[in-house]
A and B are shown apart, each in its own frame.
Chain A
Amino acid sequence: MAETLRFHYEVDGNNFTSAGAASVEVKRKLRQLGFDAETIRRVSIAMYEGEINMVVHARGGSADVYVDKDCITIILADRGPGIPDISLAMQEGYSTAPDNIRALGFGAGMGLPNMKRYTDEMKIETVLGKGTTVTIKVYTNGANKL
């Protein structure tokens, strides 16, 4: 059994220009590891949405990526305000993003729905005033270099 690869990223909450940098880096690593294109696309899009959520709502956070032969797990953790109503946040089109964020093209209310759509498992743990941790998993077909 191959060892789990782990990558850790700090997501800068004050820099929209670099938002997505961790996702792009993970995409590059997964390609090097020989994962198929669809798996890479699903993982990187879901992670990007998580990154953007942390920048928009929580002034940044951290992303830990665990890569196994059969599964890629990403844990996105922030110390933001928490999510008052998860079922509402999961509805497509629902967003609490401010106008200045919407002007950049974010805040479509598709972040969490996209994360769910592109992953096999998703778990949201949130405490108001403390922060949110989102864990997503994508199962692979095992065809890679691990």
Chain B
Amino acid sequence: MTDAAPAKKKRKFELDPKLAGYKGVWVFVEHERGQVHPVSWELMGEGRKLADMLGVELAGVVLGEPGEQTRRFCNEAMCHGADLCYLMADDILKDYRNEPFTKGMTDLVNAYQPEILLLGATTQGRDLAGSVATTLQTGLTADCTALTIDPDNRSLAATRPTFGGSLLCTIVTLNYRPQMATVRPRVMAMAERDASRSGRVIEHPLGMVESSIITKVLEYIPDAMQDKPQLAFADIIVSGGRGMKKPENFQLIWDLAQVLGAEVGASRPVVQAGWVDLERQVGQSGKTVRPKLYIAAGISGAIQHRVGMDASDCIIAINNDPNAPIFGFATYGIVGNAMTILPALTEAFRQKLAAVKKAG
């Protein structure tokens, strides 16, 4: 089975009049432990563009506990581009749980009828999106890499890598509303914050009692930050792929990363072979990154990997195959043996750092 149906013959599309009342673009404002996930502001920037193309309003959706915090999140949503916010505040919504959040979001959609609903493709966003789409019986496109409005029919055109990852496909949800999509962190650029912006807040009750909710949160164990790689937000990343040939050779990647104070990334085959941790996988089924500098050694550049890193400002690619696809989109290409070029780069960067230090 495919993850989406194949194209039918092109014909004039007319929206079911029953669905014409669905208006506006919504962004789910995801938060955990008092922090809004940055992906929400990235989506807000993208949502702003879509809303402007359609000539409709952009709304943030905040679900959480009553109090100053959720109010502040609404305010932040306006600063990041929203015209208004829907707020559902209830003690039941203190921690993310599937059941009350699904009910809350579903009720809001049914009450205020947005045409587009965007969520981050995070553990929370994907858990919620799949549940809400099924409850509402509408279409959901996962892990999109680009969103736009199809001028022919005003519907959301969501692009994502398809089967095996070597092609892209654009998916539309025609006669269903809302049109839902998830986007992974760091795929879209973050919206500029404008503190002067403001907007209205519409409150809506959840209408549930705690005793009716079966799943309980017993505890929340925060990650120890220091031992988890923070790939998604790294400014410099050194990545290795199958072309590194042996797990021992991966040390050359670590050496360069250490000199640069960079994070280490990897392509899927290397992670699958167990050379590096899963947390370090860059690409469609790993992390999406947008560092200032991305150094790729022994990575061919299949679309799977490319969608995870081609928003990097500068890409240096090292590969022994002059026809490797990575040279089609890298900034600088070096054809040669990564095992000799990596140490040379490490040394060159080390000298650069020494020179900067000396200059003070």
- A and B interact: no
